Amino acid sequence: MDASPIGVMDSGIGGLSVVEQVNALMPSEDIIYYADTLNFPYGSKSREEVQELACQAADWLLDRGAKIIVVACNTASSAALATLRNRFSAPFVGMVPAIKPASAATRSGKVGVIATKGTVQGQVLADLVAQFATGVDVFTRECPLLAELVEQGEVKSSRVHTLLHQYLDPLIAQGIDYLVLGCTHYSFLRPAIEEIVGPKVSVVDAALPVARQVQRVLTERDLLSARQKPGSLTCHATGDSRGFLEMARRLCPGLCPKGATV
């Protein structure tokens, strides 16, 4: 079982930011990445739709021997993680916005969160704020179109900068000193985001903590690969797989040439 791959699912390319961290921590692990580009984006879909799509993705990954599945999508984690754990016996690791560390570290007592509609309006974010942000003002912003632009490879365009100012300027005006990235796609916009918010605002996401949790679960279950050679990355997109891989190579040049296939 230790030679079986790690499965990772997302609605598109955003989850590769998590794959980068998983690969850095566990370079000998094979990874199968499932990008549901045919149904992208998830953020505007109903909870029931996302649950069904997430279960289809899990079925696909488990049929290919995944020993653990990372739900590398905040929207899918919010809507479907409990359903996935109830339906399947395999271990699942999900994404939640990094409210806890941001709230613990803030000096101004003001934290911003940018995410999709599905995450901002979901119960998971509300529960995180209630549990970990007592005494902290948490300002949320829905960011339509950002994930779509990243999916098209736009991370530095004037259109991206215009949208980022539209979403971020009101948060900056509130006096936030921490900004939580609540969508895995936004990790590819981090340089542009940091340029806009400036050095007084710390930007955080959950990619590394999630990778560490994957490592902990595999260690506890004695499922870590014992191989010494680097693992492979196989990408599957429900839409245009080759187009997806070309975009992945643009956004993750250090990751995708490492034996990545479609």
List active site positions: 73, 183
Q: Quick check: bond before 41 cis, omega within 30?
A: yes
User: Which residue, chain included where needed, has tokens 């799509």?
Assistant: 53
Dihedral sign, CA of 213, 55, 190, 18?
positive
Distance from C-alpha of 207 to C-alpha of 186, rounded to nearest angstrom: 11
- 3-state DSSP of 180-248: EECCHHHHHHHHHHHHHHCCCCEEECCHHHHHHHHHHHHHHCCCCCCCCCCCCEEEEECCCHHHHHHHH
The tokens describing 63, both together, are: 């049929």
Q: How far is CA 43 from CA 36, 119, 197, 219, in A?
A: 13, 7, 24, 33
